[in-house]
Amino acid sequence: MRAIGSLSAALQGLDALIFTGGIGEHSVSIREAICLRCEWLGLMLDAEANRSGNSCISRPDSPVQAFIIGTDEERMIAEHTFGLFNEHIQEHAS
């Protein structure tokens, strides 16, 4: 929560909050607790959408939107590793 507050202050507000990764994608209670503590930013949670795992979990009239966006962390790690490997090979091939 401290990070959300600090970033919101630095950005002078918040347009959207994104939940991703294992906990963000799969923990209804964590998303709910975070959203309720972000009401001061204008985020209004749609509890039913959150429980259903909808991609948008904020109310339609919420000034700040909240979304669940799936990730494939293993794929991203593999892509970055492959890119670094290719850079290393190209540096030593010349």
User: pLDDT tens digits, residue range 52-68?
Assistant: 989 999 999 999 999 99
43: number of Cβ within 10 Å: 23
For domain 2-93, the CATH superfamily is: ATPase, nucleotide binding domain (3.30.420.40)
Q: pTM for the whole thing?
A: 0.76
Residue 45: helix, strand or coil by DSSP?
Answer: strand
| CA–CA distance, 41 with 20 (Å, rounded to integer) | 20
What tokens appear for 45 in the block? 């949670």
pLDDT band per the 50, 70, 90 thresholds, residue 50: very high
Phi, psi of 64 (to 5 degrees): -115, 125
So where are the chain's domains? 2-93
